Amino acid sequence: MQSTHSPERGKGMMELARKFWNDESGQGLAEYALLLGLIVIGVVVLIQGMGVSIKKLFGQANIDLEKAATT
């Protein structure tokens, strides 16, 4: 009965593993995804901060309009 594990097959797997280890083609995609994630977080924080200011602005406009309507 012959063994199913051959030394040549092991070399091929090691070469394949080295090829994947040294391959940098996915690195750019990962960097763009990370950058996009940081931009999204920044936009969400900005919108939340603006939301408070906009709420105050419209609240004051509503108060002013109510005062103008009663006089």
pLDDT digits (tens, 9 = 90+) for 12-56: 888 887 877 777 767 777 888 999 999 999 999 998 889 888 899
pLDDT score at 7: 55
Give per-residue burial for 25-44: e unless 16+ CB within 10 Å, then b: eeeeeeeeeeeeeeeeeeee
Q: What is the pLDDT of residue 37?
A: 95
User: Greater confidence, 38 or 10?
Assistant: 38
Cα 54-38-31 angle, rounded to 5 deg:
155
Distance CA(51)–CA(5), nearest Å, equals 64
Residue 64's pLDDT band (cuts 50, 70, 90): very high
